Structures are given as C-alpha cells and as structure tokens.
Amino acid sequence: MSITSSYSALDLAGSFRLTSPTVSDIDLPITLPGDVHQSLLTADRIPDPYFGENEKTVMWVNETAWSVERSFSASATDIDGYLTLTLAEVDCIANIRLNGEVVAKTDNSFVRNDIDVTGKVRIGDNTLRIEFDIAPDVAKARSDAHPFPIPFTKNYQTNGLKGIHMNFIRKAACHAGWDWGICLMPIGVYGTMSLRKSRLARQESVQVDQAHGSNSVELQIKTRLFAFAHGEVELEHTIDGQTITDKLVVQKGENVFTHNVTIHNPKLWWPSGQGEQPLYPLVTNLDGEKTTRQIGLRKLEWIVEKDEIDHSFKCRINGRDITMMGANWIPADAIPSRITPAVIRDLLESAKGANMNMLRIWGGGQYEADYFYELCDELGILIWHDFMFACMSYPSDRPFLESVRTEITQQVRRLSHHACIALWCGDNEVIGSLSWYPETKADPGRYIANYDRLNSMLGNIVEDEDPVRRFWPSSPSLGYLDFSDGWHSDTRGDLHYWDVWHSAKAFEAYRTVHPRFASEFGFQSFTSMNVIETFAEEKDRNPSSPVMEMHQRNDGGNARILETMTRYFRFPRDFDQMVFLSQIQQGLAMKTAIEYWRSTKPRCMGTLYWQINDIWPVASWSSLDYGGQWKLLQYMAKRFFFAVNVVAVPQKAEVRTNSRGLPVQGDLPDTIVLKGINDTANEISVSLEVRAVKVGGGDRVVFSGNCAIGPDAAIPLTEVPMNEIAEDEFLFFSWRDANGNLLGENDFFPKAYKAYDIVPANVSASWSDRDGKPVLTLESDKPALFTTATVDIPGYFSDNAVTLLPGRKTELVFNPRHGRSVTSAELATSLKVRNLSETF
C-alpha cells in the first residue's frame, strides 16, 4: 500500500439500524451517537420512561441484547493510509464488527476505543456492526464468579427494582438508578465515531503543564503519538503567536515528545467571580491532523498542611486562597442522547449565574464530554473530579485493575490541559461504604486491602500522568491512608455532612460542625409543579401516591420533607403549596449551613452542596429542576454565595439539648452576631443597616454604620442581643458600597416561621423593559416572605424568594435561558407571584 496522503476522518455518526437477536419485530433506525431507549421512544415502541410508573414497563429494554449496524462507503483516498476506527464511548460490553470480522471487544464505557483497522476497510461499501451484551447479566455472572462477595450499593435498590452488580462493569453507576435516579441502564454509543486515516501516526493526547514565574508562564507541552510504523512525522504547536515545528523520528507504538514555550506577560485565568477567564488557543498539527485546546493560565495548588486546628484544606489560585462555592454534579440526563452541548451550557451558565466557582463531578456518574470542560474553562468553573467509583467496593483482580488503569490514564491525559480541573479524587464514599454492608463489616481487613489495591493505583496514575495536580484519595477523606470517619471529623480533609437529611437532625445542627471543606450536604425538595405535571396526572398529585413515590428514590424521602415542614412551618394547605414550601425549606436548610460555614473562614474554605442538577424529573436534593429551571434553592444559592456577604450567626452561651443530644427546638439564641464575609482580594467598606421588622408590618433601625472587612476574611460587624428583639420581630439587613449602591439584603428569623403570625400580604407587580431586559417591580403592603415570581418562559429572575417590606420597591430582572430574547409583554401573561403567607 502506498502511503502518501495526510490525515483525514470519515464521520461514522448518523443513522444506524437497530435490531435485537431476541425481539424479532424490531428493526428501527437509531441515531448514533445516541442510545437505544431514545430510538425506541422515537419509534413509539416504549412509553416515556419518565412518565408515571413507566420505568417498570421499560425494564425489558436493558434485559435485551441489541445490535446496531450501518453501512458506509469509503473511497480509495479515504483508505490509503493507516486506519483507526475511533469509538469514544461504547456503552458498554460489545463486539465491534467491521465487515463481519470482530475487530474489538469493548468492556469499559469510560475508555476511548482506537481500533487499528488498517487494511480492513474496502473501497465501496463497508459494514460497521456493534453487538451489545446484556450488561446486568454480565455483571451478575462476574459477581457470581468472584472469589468473595462484593456487595453493590443500596442507593438504587428502591421501589422494588432489582439491584444490578454495577461494581463489576465499567459504566455510570447511576445508570442502574440512585437515590435520585431512574434505573434505565442505557445501551448506546456516545461521543466521536469516526474512521481516521493517518499517514504514519495519530495524536493520542496533548498535555500542558504550567510553571508560573513572576511575569511569565513556562508551558511544557507533552504530545503523545501512536505511530503505526517507524518513520518521520512533522509536529507543530502554535500558541500566543509562537509556533514550534519539529520533525520527529517515531518508533512503532506510543511516542512521547515534550516542547517548551514561554508566555510572557500572561493574562491569568481566574475562577468565576474573581477575575477574567482569558484562554490561549493551542493548535496542534500532526501531519495534517489538527486539534485545538484552549489553555487558561493559572497556578493552582491545594494547601493541605498542619495548622493550629489540625490540617488546612484549601485551594490556592494564582497565590490567593479562594473559597470554593458550588455544588455536586450528576449526569445531565438518564437518556444519554439528550445530553447535548446546549443542555450542558444552560446548566453550567446557571451554576455561574448563582455565583458558583466550583462543581464536583461525582463518582457515581461519568466523565463528561470535552465540551463540558471547555465550557467550564470559559465560564470559570473549577472542577473537583472524582474518578468513577461510588458507595461500594470494587474488585481488585488484575483484569479489572488493567481496565481501570487504561480508563484513568486516558481520562487524565485527555483532560489535564484544562484550567478548570482542580483536583483528581479517587472516588465517592467508598471508604465509608466499607462499614455499610454486612459482608464488608464482617471482614474489614480484606475489604480495606481490596480497596487500597485500586485506590493506590489511582494515586500512582495521577502522580505519573499529571504530577502537578493533587490526588485526593476519596470524598470524604481525612487524608493519605486515613480510613477514619469523614462524615463527622471536621478538623481536616473534606466532609460529607448528612446528619440533617439522613438522620433528621434540626437545621441548627449545621452550626454544630465546622468543616474545613464541606464537599457534600443536602436537603430535598419536590421538583417544581410544572415539572410534576409532566409525569403525574392530576389524580396522582399527592405525596404518597405511587407515582410520586416512584419519583422519590430515597427511602422515606417524602416523609422527611413533610415531617420537617411541621417543625419549621405551618402545614401547607394543598399539594401545590406543599411543593412550593418544600423548596423554601430546602433553600433554608442550605442557607443555614452555607452562611454559617462561610462565616468561619478561613477555617472553612469550601462548600459544595448536594446537588445542582437532576437526571430526570424527581424529588431530590437538586437546586435545578430536570430541564434546568431554577428551584428556589438556586436563587438562594445566588445570594448565599455572594462574594461580599453579611450573614446572621445566632449564638447561645449554653445550648440546651434534648434526649437525642440535639439543640432544643425553639430555644432562642442569646444574641445574633452579624458577620461580614469578604471573598475578594481587596479590603472593602460596607455601610450596613439592620432593621427589626414586625411580621405584621412596621420596622425600626437597630444598627446603622460603616464597616471595613479586610481581603479574604470573615469578621463580626455588629450584634443584636435577643432581648432587643420583640416576639414578633425578625431582622432584615442590607449593605451598600461606598457609592450607596445596594450590594445585598438578608434576613434572619430567631424562631421557626411557624411561631410567627404571618399575615396575608397583597403583592402588586408591574412590568417595564430596561436596556432590552424585562423588569418586574414588586411592592407589598405587608412583609411578604419568600416572594417568588414565576413565568412559563424558560429563564430566571435576577432574584427570587425575596423578602418584601412595605414602602420599598423590589426589582427583578428577567434573564431568558438558551440565548432567547423576550419582552415583558410576553412574560406578563403567565406571571404568578406567591409568598409564604399563602401556603397555609
């Protein structure tokens, strides 16, 4: 064969034929990349799995073997070189046949398959066929054959659905369901599908390490090539107007080359809220195979070192210790075909819109597509990246470890150039899970040794492949080879604090722990009413109907939501109000935790609540509904994540505890300290005004003054003793900058809301348009709590769930989502405004 031409790629994405060896009447088109459920749904062969209890009726799909097949035509020039069949993600265990011949067997959906098919593609018609095994059956067979039991997580064995041994197969664990997730076990192919032709070699990965000097950054560009034979290639990198061209001798197999470039006067990349996100395109050209990566220049360190408390745990960026604020991320949809760049952009823009600067990609989900990380680079969202292991033990035999080695090595090499990647973390809660199952509890030595074989391999891979990044063994973890309790120990490492939700402690319990970095804690709410309407008929809109229980995957979740309402609020008068109140309550729980933990800065340097998004319409801990609509928590997050903030910290000299050792409910604090938080690099001065407001109307100023807060600090500004606050009063405080611009408002209720006689409020709303944006102005005759405006058009207001006080106007600017534009007239028709007084 003469090898003359350079690189080209034949796109193999498109329409395939979907058949099954066991279901004879199915012969349907399937769009790949995509998945089987979506194809069956489009062809009306299954009902919408998200509706009602349909999940149960579509289980047969994942219990069936499937094949997809397409023909493609190749010309003489398409194939006159070395050929690679690239299938980025095959989900999951499958034979890949090219023109009838098995060219690969896939086994790990997190591994990119680059299959050498040189000489196997014909001029003219060719057939690509993928035959999927039944993943749950394979998983069960492997588990049965394993020399000792490895229990699978309890998190998805809800609603009578059977468990699947997800720890024996490499695919998103939550595909089998989770305590917020539907069990679909999708089957499909995602990401790139192409036939690549190389003259001699193909690009495997391009990694970029940064060494920051005083006014320059040294980039070390590590290029990994796969050469089909010995020979010479031309490699070129261009960045910041500098081009490096190199003629390189390559040996058959993998070759690694390193080039250095210095960027002078670098424009530094900062996380959102702390500065800009300039990106330098790096274009790599290998004999015509061109790839582009956007490089953000920033120095990122984790400072985990001994201090007066125990050990710090904080992220230092460009020399500054920056508090990480954000949430946990799960896969964006249980039907993978629906995860598109537009969907991801929308969700990530909402994260940024709520003043988040970090998301944690959780280990029970998946590594995301390239565009996800590119968007995070662009938006300034740092990523705490778990490797994909969660809540259960995994095997540690050689074939399993080898598969995982390939997976982690590839993923780290694929992603390490991204400015957004802040940390590689071994797993989610696998250490803790050792004490959850009878099998692991009975034989801890065996399971810890088993754990360490996998976990230490992960650490070694990071050390070899991405030495500038920190590896953190697990989340939560107290540190290197420390297997103790990361759920309660708050002096070092990261903390998952679940006592409020999973153990029904009072919200006040958040103030009894003092994390260094809280990487998980959450409180559930129902998904918004318009989302409930997409899966529950009118008759099913009741918290204990089978449909609503199907759409609640945490045992006892709905009961927990309702029982908590009785502790803090008067019981809601109907289903719709209950849904609304559940979101107020969820927001309040997270506000309690996050305001307090932020106020302990520099002790606490991170709060990531569980969880930002939903994978399907469900009651969950998320702050965004499935589909991306903002729940009330998302609005409250925008406020409690303000870089400059004032929060109330109630204090009590002697805390009375009840029989369960918890603070007595209804016990009032002695005093309320108002703390100022400054997460900026500059000292700021705020003028603070604190009012005591009667719930029935009428208020008085109890403090007014200017306060300076040093850079990156949290300090007490003033305090209001409880004996200066009347029975029916709450505190409302606002702070302004030196020019009198309002920076923020907040309030604090010393007692549970149910203890106040909240009076009905008449809220009036009027629309206007300003600078092309619709503005809603709200006014109320009485204090109106958690006043919330909603419209039917996708978008969010600049604020919501706000406290309205009589005599003051509150303006909310509407931001349409998905880049749409909208006028106030269009919004006005569907406007609804509600507040707490209407709930009971």
Can you list the alpha helix ranges (DSSP code H) found in 387-543? Answer: 398-415, 430-433, 438-442, 444-465, 529-535
Please state the length of the chain. 840
Residue list 456-515, contact with ligand BMA (CB under 6 A): 496
Query: What is the token pair recorded at 218?
Result: 């040294």
In whole angstroms, the minimum distance from the beta carbon of 364 to ligand BMA comes to: 6
In whole angstroms, the minimum distance from the beta carbon of 32 to ligand BMA comes to: 30
Element (H, E) at 111: none
Q: Does 787 bind ligand BMA (CB under 6 A)?
A: no
Query: What is the token pair recorded at 266?
Result: 């670098």
In whole angstroms, the minimum distance from the beta carbon of 540 to ligand BMA comes to: 24
In whole angstroms, the minimum distance from the beta carbon of 53 to ligand BMA comes to: 21
Q: Does 228 bind ligand BMA (CB under 6 A)?
A: no
Distance of alpha carbon 818 from its chain centroid, rounded? 19
Which of 35, 346, 490, 520 binds ligand BMA (CB under 6 A)? It is 520
In our burial notation (b when 16+ CB lie closer than 10 A, e otherwise), range 125-138 reads ebebbbbbbbbbeb
Residue type, 221: I
In whole angstroms, the minimum distance from the beta carbon of 620 to ligand BMA comes to: 8
- In what order do the strands lie in the sheet containing 124-132? 27-32, 14-19, 66-74, 124-132, 94-98, 101-106
Which of 180, 424, 437, 447 binds ligand BMA (CB under 6 A)? It is 180
Which is it for the CA torsion 528, 529, 533, 538, positive or negative? positive
Based on CB atoms, which residue is closest to ligand BMA, 52 or 486?
486
In whole angstroms, the minimum distance from the beta carbon of 179 to ligand BMA comes to: 5
Q: Does 614 bind ligand BMA (CB under 6 A)?
A: no
The DSSP call for residue 162 is: P
C-alpha to C-alpha distance for 671 and 652, rounded to whole angstroms: 7
Phi, psi dihedral angles at 621 (to 5 degrees): -85, 5
**Site map (CB under 6 A) of ligand BMA, residues 348-367, x = contact:** ----------------x---
According to DSSP, the residues that pair with 471 across neighbouring strands are: 424
Which of 223, 255, 411, 428 binds ligand BMA (CB under 6 A)? It is 428
Tally DSSP H helices, then E strands, for the chain.
Answer: 15, 45
Q: Does 178 bind ligand BMA (CB under 6 A)?
A: yes
Of the candidate spans 16-24, 30-38, 175-183, 576-584, the one that interacts with ligand BMA by CB under 6 A turns out to be: 175-183
Helix%, strand%, coil% for the chain, nearest 5: 25, 35, 40
Which of 133, 179, 374, 799 binds ligand BMA (CB under 6 A)? It is 179
In whole angstroms, the minimum distance from the beta carbon of 496 to ligand BMA comes to: 6
Q: Does 391 bind ligand BMA (CB under 6 A)?
A: yes
Report strand pairing: 358-361 vs 795-797. unpaired
Q: Does 616 bind ligand BMA (CB under 6 A)?
A: no
Q: Does 552 bind ligand BMA (CB under 6 A)?
A: no
C-alpha to C-alpha distance for 769 and 783, rounded to whole angstroms: 26
In whole angstroms, the minimum distance from the beta carbon of 155 to ligand BMA comes to: 5
Of the candidate spans 15-23, 178-186, 237-245, 713-721, the one that interacts with ligand BMA by CB under 6 A turns out to be: 178-186
- # residues contacting ligand BMA (CB under 6 A): 11
C-alpha to C-alpha distance for 647 and 673, rounded to whole angstroms: 8
Q: Does 298 bind ligand BMA (CB under 6 A)?
A: no
Coil vs helix vs strand at 836: helix
Based on CB atoms, which residue is closest to ligand BMA, 178 or 641?
178
Q: Does 523 bind ligand BMA (CB under 6 A)?
A: no
Based on CB atoms, which residue is closest to ligand BMA, 555 or 683?
555
Based on CB atoms, which residue is closest to ligand BMA, 520 or 745?
520
C-alpha to C-alpha distance for 168 and 155, rounded to whole angstroms: 16
In whole angstroms, the minimum distance from the beta carbon of 522 to ligand BMA comes to: 6
Element (H, E) at 550: helix 546-550
Question: Does 149 sit behind a cis peptide bond, omega within 30 degrees of 0 on the bond before it?
Answer: no
Based on CB atoms, which residue is closest to ligand BMA, 82 or 178?
178
In whole angstroms, the minimum distance from the beta carbon of 180 to ligand BMA comes to: 6
Burial class (CB in 10 A: 0-12, 13-18, 19+), 500: buried
Of 604, 607, 616, 615, nearest to 637 by C-alpha is: 607
Based on CB atoms, which residue is closest to ligand BMA, 493 or 774?
493
State the DSSP string of 220-261: EEEEEEEESSSEEEEEEEEETTEEEEEEEEE-SEEEEEEEEE
Of the candidate spans 174-182, 314-322, 400-408, 752-760, the one that interacts with ligand BMA by CB under 6 A turns out to be: 174-182
Of the candidate spans 176-184, 253-261, 317-325, 463-471, the one that interacts with ligand BMA by CB under 6 A turns out to be: 176-184
Based on CB atoms, which residue is closest to ligand BMA, 428 or 528?
428
Q: Does 329 bind ligand BMA (CB under 6 A)?
A: no
Residues that bind ligand BMA (CB under 6 A): 155, 178-180, 364, 391, 428-429, 496, 520, 610
